[in-house]
A and B are shown apart, each in its own frame.
Chain A
């Protein structure tokens, strides 16, 4: 049960250290023994447009955000205009910008400007930061001025640096002031500054920003450091996917730059020199190659080809890139190649919302490519799952010798959570490479077998000839169009999915939460499960108890278990970030069971726990069958 749940937001123009500020704040909170979940929102822009970071602070593991802000830390006008209506607690602002006009927020989108202008004028308020502050004061919300200019001058007096360099510490002053509201010892924030800023001069400037920022506010929350048990990590989705792959033995990754997938490949490349334990426990070095290709067509086909040499290889992309890959993935299906594609979903169609999230590509992943071939489709719901599934995907691909598509949403890729290292326990994971052989003289790459899986030999592994062929082929790989061979070879390929369906326990293909005895079950997938889990106790307070099924594997689908879990349930609510509820469609196709209610969101922003709480209450009151959410900024 969560006793503490505080929502903190910092915002600012892209390129002014909003991410650094959020990292510092989050690390300090974590060092004090609290958990956080932090969600990053930003535009497809390099510098200047509004970005912001929402952090939930909790005394228990947490996985969601709220649009109701307890503490809003700002250091320039646009963040005030963008978020003031969400503030339910306190707003911190630069006291010298009260006169800043809405019309001068040049990079702010016109739709938002008009909306804000209308709200302010309808309340008879100026279209300025001052007007927004008065709006809040009239609603009983606290606003606290921070004197950024004199704080910067005080820092300048102590360090021998230009005003430009010191001026960059504005974000940290905002962090410090808002941190001061929590009542936590400043030592945690100073420790975070020391670990984030490596250069002595920056460490000095930002430590002073903490000292002078923190004293400008009075504590409101009187939080105390919590006793902890074991180490904790601050992780994001890109990192967890990269780590799962590296630990899983990935040694070749291809990519073409694309948001929000490239960070994964960048991380692998930056850390490509790996320590491995070899025979006799001696340490040796290994190298993971990362290839930036000319397009996603090259990226997928290069990764596929690398797999033919026996290496574990993959590519990472998002929607527009995946749209260029189907032909290659079909070749991998035809040639029984253990390709892993990590698919970061963002808002589509077309370029869509390049930096926002969505769950609109499930059916595309399930149906990618012309013709029929088996593919395994996995979707992770939290950061721990991202790591384990990235690792698992490499095993599944080699075991069933067919493409595996691992779905992760932008919101998981870019958000942070604090996880306990104990349950992370990655050393318990095992690699399984499936049927691997050396090519003997009589080798047949597509040899028939009962389970449909043929012994796989790497190119160059022996004297036998290895033939890979995108045309229909016989056991050797030679082209054939003969009816009986076509009949049998087709069936052999397809049989692998049946084998996978038989061998992979259905229990591993889904998660359940909450009260599964309830007659109300929420069916969801991916990161949409996160706000649901955090809404469970909120609903319970109101006497509503629900069960949750998170589907993790969509192909092969855990149909028996889902059918059983949903047997005789009165209310089945699907929660998804799409318009058409794709996971529910796939569920119905596999189980014959359709949802009775829908909670859907397609505006690119993460679903919040309040949205779930309110929507489930509305559904339980019989008000509606379908709720379309539109929260967020």
Chain B
């Protein structure tokens, strides 16, 4: 294949990451976005290898633990013409990267975030991750979890995400549909993708999930008018509280009435979207193109 080598993924057999990778790659192909304009940004952990394992010409940036969102932000702001997709784990996105997770919601950049949510830190041998419930003990933990859990859906809603959904990674078709909607959404989209970790999470297994998951049909998640925002968020939060017996999948909330970060930057820099920072010519034959005389003149105290 072009410009790269075939890399075989090294995830454990049965890992939920396979489904996410497959769904994501096929959506990108189906959407017909030129693949050279797609950038997959990942954090650290098993999910961090998603970009490396894509067998296509999609570019990828494998970043630092918790920092995928600042990287995605830098890429998307510098070149809004790129399609940016973020893959992070629950430890990556909601533990070490929680601050960035919250602040990404405040910006509403046009990008999609896949949260690989398995409740454990796999690569370090199965410690509790931020979505593991208080008191639970998966098999490699020496004692049960004394930290409470964070609800990714509620946190995203509180932080200003404008598309919030949940998928289940073994349901590749369902996951694909949501990924497609997330990419097409104008604004920051989060999909909380539930995934069994067959190696370390012996509580939230395939069997456990499949007894509980269902596709939501009882809420209308779409905000058509800004006046509906608070009510729709409230409805989504109530729905996001469901867990023990029934776990809802699908879109909890979707709001395209909020300006994207790109729109906000364009309000200050009129040609920002058509002539973004990454495309600007800054020199010609080495001669700087920027004219700074006006800025110099403000400091001229003696004129001759």
Contact = CB atoms under 8 A, between A and B. Distances in A.
Interface stretch (B166-174, B194-202, B221-229, B288-296): B288-296
B143 interface: no
Contacts of B299: 233-235, 239
Interface in B27-66: 36-37, 39, 41, 44, 49, 51-52, 57-64
Interface residues of A, number: 92
Interface string B66-78: 0101111111011
Contacts of A291: 73, 77
Interface residues of B, number: 68
Contact of B70 (A230, A246, A298): A298
A384 to B, nearest CB: 13
A179 B278 CA distance: 50
A229 B295 contact: no
Contacts of A298: 67, 69-70, 73, 99-100, 103
A252 B270 CA distance: 16
B272 A289 contact: yes
A294 B302 contact: no
Interface in B249-285: 265, 268-272, 275, 277-278, 280-284
Contacts of A440: 3
Interface stretch (A425-433, A504-512, A567-575, A577-585): A425-433
Nearest to A394: B282
A299 B51 CA distance: 23
A331 B304 contact: no
A303 B73 CA distance: 9
A464 B103 contact: no
Given A287-B272, A430-B286, A478-B7, A304 B60 contact: no
Interface in A296-331: 297-299, 301-313, 327-328, 331
A229 B304 contact: yes
Interface string A400-420: 000000000000000000100
A255 to B, nearest CB: 13
Interface string B1-43: 0111101000000000000000000000000000011010100
Contacts of A310: 78-79, 278
A559 B77 CA distance: 41
B75 A305 contact: yes
A482 B291 CA distance: 50
Contact of A442 (B2, B61, B100): B2
Interface stretch (A85-93, A212-220, A465-473, A528-536): A465-473
A458 B303 CA distance: 43
Contacts of B268: 272, 287
Contact of B2 (A232, A235, A252, A464): A464
A431 B2 contact: no
A292 to B, nearest CB: 10
Contacts of A308: 61, 74-75
A421 interface: yes
Nearest to B74: A305
B304 A303 contact: no
A475 B87 CA distance: 24
Which secondary structure dominates where chain A touches chain B?
A: mixed
A387 to B, nearest CB: 10
B288 A247 contact: yes
Interface in A217-242: 228-235, 239
B73 A287 contact: no
Nearest to B283: A431
Contacts of B79: 309-311, 458-460
A246 B71 contact: no
A351 B7 CA distance: 47
A442 to B, nearest CB: 5
Contact of A30 (B60, B74, B270, B302): B302
A437 interface: no
A467 B60 contact: yes
Contacts of B275: 286-287
A459 B290 CA distance: 24
Interface string A436-475: 0001111110000000000000111111111111110000
B301 A418 contact: yes
A434 B290 CA distance: 19
Interface in B77-122: 77-79, 81-82, 99-100, 102-103
Contacts of B280: 249, 251, 276, 286-287, 311
A231 B300 contact: yes
Nearest to B73: A302
Interface in A8-36: 26-27, 30-31, 33
A437 to B, nearest CB: 12
Nearest to A191: B301
B253 to A, nearest CB: 22
A249 B59 CA distance: 26
A468 B60 contact: yes
A364 to B, nearest CB: 20
12 contacts: A27-B301, A30-B301, A246-B295, A251-B282, A274-B291, A287-B265, A287-B272, A297-B70, A302-B70, A328-B67, A439-B59, A458-B79
Given A31-B302, A234-B299, A276-B282, 12 more contacts: A249-B282, A273-B269, A298-B67, A301-B71, A305-B78, A306-B74, A306-B78, A308-B61, A309-B277, A462-B36, A465-B2, A466-B60
Interface of A: 26-27, 30-31, 33, 192, 228-235, 239, 243, 246-249, 251-252, 254, 271-279, 283, 285-289, 291, 293-295, 297-299, 301-313, 327-328, 331, 418, 421, 426, 429-433, 439-444, 458-471, 476, 478-479
